[in-house]
C-alpha cells in the first residue's frame, strides 16, 4: 500500500510500470498484491524504499488471506490477468507468422515478451503453451527432423579437441557430448586440430569435425547430427545460439550472462580445463532449471 504526492505524477507512473512488470494485482483502491514468496517480498520492499525516498508513504504487509475473497478466487484473478497478456501476444504473433516470410527479429521480440509474461505467471496459465506452440511452429521444428547422421557408438571412448579458452558454445557442446554421447569423453585443447592426433575436432576453424554450419552454432550442429530430441536441449540450443552468435534470433538472453561469467573466469587466469569444468556445471544447472520451469 502506498501514496505519492500528487505533484509527482511521473514517479507514480514509474512505480505503476514496475508493479505491472512484477505481475502485481491491483487490490481495489488500496494497494497491490503478489503471492507471498521471498522474491516478491523483496521486490515490494525495494519499491517501498523507493517511494519513501520520493516523499511518499509505503507499507508492505504479509497476509494470510482476505475475509471477503477466497484464496481460489484470488488465484483466478492472477491467472486471468496473465491469460489476457498471453492472448494479446498470441493474436499479435498470429498476424505476423501467418505471412510467408517471418523476420527473425520479430520472432525474437515475441519470444522476449513471452519470457517477460512467463516470469510473472505465478500459477501456470495454459495460454503460455499456446503461444509457445505458435512460435515453435514459426521457428521450425524443435526436434531434428532427420535421422542421426552419425552413430553415437562410433564416438564412445574418443578424445575431443577444441580451441583454448572455451566460451559458451564450446562448454555447452562439451556438456552435450558428455551427457548424450559419451559420459567418459575426454577433452583437450589445441590451436590446430592436427596437434591432437586422432581427436574429434569441435568448434575449430577450417577443419573437419563439428562446428558452425550455416547459421547454426556448434551446439546446434551436434544436436542435429546426432538427432538429440530432448525438448530441454531444444531450449538450450536456442539459448546458446543467441549467446554465441548475438543475432537475437530466438530472443533468449539467458546464455549471455553465462558467457560473461566464462569471460570473467578466463581473465582471472583459470586454466582451460577449469573453464570447461565450471562451464559444464553452469550448463547442467541451466538444463535442470529449464526442466523445473517447464
In angstroms, the CA 251 to CA 112 distance is: 5
Q: Show the beta-strand stretches assigned E in the chain.
A: 2-3, 25-27, 31-33, 57-58, 159-162, 186-189, 200-201
In the prediction, which pLDDT does 2 show?
Answer: 93
Whole-number Å distance between alpha carbons of 262 and 256: 10
Q: What distance in Å separates the CA atoms of residue 135 and residue 102, rounded to the nearest whole number?
A: 11
- The pLDDT averaged over each successive group of 10 residues in the chain (294 residues) is 89 92 88 92 94 93 90 93 96 85 80 89 91 82 67 92 95 97 96 90 86 92 93 92 87 86 92 96 92 54
* C-alpha cell at position 210: 563439428
Predicted pLDDT of residue 202: 96
Q: Exposed, middle or buried, 108 (CB in 10 Å: 0-12/13-18/19+)?
A: buried
Closest to 93 measured CA to CA, from 142, 127, 125, 138: 138
**Sign of the CA dihedral running 277, 279, 284, 285:** positive
In this predicted structure, what is the pLDDT of residue 1? Answer: 94
What's the confidence (pLDDT) of residue 105?
A: 79
Task: Give the domain ranges of the chain.
Answer: 2-58, 71-139, 152-293
Cell reading at 55:
516523499
Q: What are the pLDDT digits (tens) for 206-220? A: 777 899 998 899 999
Both ends of the chain: CA-CA distance in Å?
A: 33
What gap in Å lies between CA 78 and CA 127, rounded to an integer? 13
What is the DSSP secondary structure assignment for residue 216, as one 8-state letter?
B
pLDDT of residue 100: 67
Query: How is residue 135 written as a grid cell?
Result: 512460435
Is-contact 41 76, C-beta < 8 A?
no
Cβ-based neighbour number of residue 10 at 10 Å? 9
Helices (H) and strands (E) in the chain, counts: 10, 7
What distance in Å separates the CA atoms of residue 62 and residue 7, rounded to the nearest whole number? Answer: 30
Q: What is the pLDDT of residue 194?
A: 86
Residues contacting 149, CB < 8 A, separation 6+:
225, 226, 227
* Per-residue exposure over 212-243, b if at least 16 CB sit within 10 Å of its own CB, e if not: beeebbbbbbbbbbbebeeeebbbbbbbbbbb
How far apart (Å, rounded) are the C-alpha atoms in residues 35 and 63?
A: 10
For the beta carbon of residue 77, count every other beta carbon within 10 angstroms.
13
Q: Is 261 left (phi over 0), alpha (psi -120 to 50) or beta?
A: alpha
Q: Is the pTM of this model over 0.75?
A: no
Task: Look up residue 3 and give its three cell numbers.
Answer: 501514496
CB 229 within 8 A of CB 239: no
Q: What is the pLDDT of residue 214?
A: 87
8 Å CB contact between 186 and 277:
no
Q: Looking at residue 285, what is its pLDDT? A: 94
Amino acid at each position: 500500500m502506498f501514496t505519492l504526492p500528487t505533484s509527482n505524477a511521473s514517479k507514480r507512473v514509474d512505480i505503476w510500470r514496475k508493479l505491472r512488470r512484477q505481475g502485481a494485482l491491483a487490490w481495489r483502491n488500496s494497494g497491490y498484491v503478489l503471492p507471498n514468496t521471498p522474491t516478491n517480498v523483496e521486490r515490494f520492499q525495494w519499491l517501498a524504499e523507493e517511494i519513501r525516498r520520493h516523499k511518499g508513504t509505503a507499507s508492505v504487509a504479509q497476509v494470510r488471506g482476505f475475509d471477503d475473497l477466497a484464496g481460489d478466487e484470488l488465484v483466478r484473478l492472477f491467472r486471468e490477468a496473465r491469460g489476457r497478456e498471453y492472448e494479446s501476444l498470441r493474436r499479435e504473433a498470429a498476424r505476423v507468422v501467418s505471412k510467408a516470410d517471418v523476420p527473425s527479429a520479430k520472432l525474437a521480440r515475441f519470444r522476449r515478451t513471452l519470457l517477460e509474461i512467463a516470469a510473472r505467471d505465478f500459477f501456470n496459465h495454459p495460454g503460455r503453451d499456446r503461444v509457445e506452440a505458435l512460435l515453435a511452429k514459426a521457428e521450425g521444428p524443435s526436434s531434428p527432423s532427420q535421422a542421426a547422421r552419425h552413430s553415437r557408438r562410433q564416438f564412445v571412448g574418443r578424445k575431443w579437441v577444441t580451441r583454448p579458452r572455451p566460451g559458451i558454445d564450446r562448454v555447452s557442446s562439451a556438456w552435450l557430448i558428455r551427457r548424450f554421447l559419451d559420459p567418459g569423453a575426454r577433452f583437450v585443447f589445441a590451436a590446430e586440430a592436427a596437434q591432437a592426433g586422432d581427436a574429434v575436432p569441435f568448434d575449430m576453424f577450417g577443419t573437419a569435425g563439428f562446428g558452425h554450419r550455416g547459421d547454426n552454432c556448434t551446439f546446434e550442429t551436434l544436436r542435429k547430427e546426432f538427432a538429440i530430441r530432448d525438448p530441454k536441449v531444444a531450449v538450450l540450443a536456442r539459448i546458446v545460439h543467441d549467446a554465441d552468435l548475438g543475432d537475437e534470433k530466438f530472443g533468449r538472453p539467458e546464455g549471455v550472462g553465462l558467457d560473461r561469467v566464462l569471460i570473467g573466469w578466463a581473465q582471472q587466469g583459470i586454466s582451460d580445463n577449469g573453464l570447461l569444468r565450471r562451464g559444464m556445471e553452469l550448463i547442467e544447472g541451466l538444463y535442470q532449471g529449464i526442466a523445473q520451469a517447464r
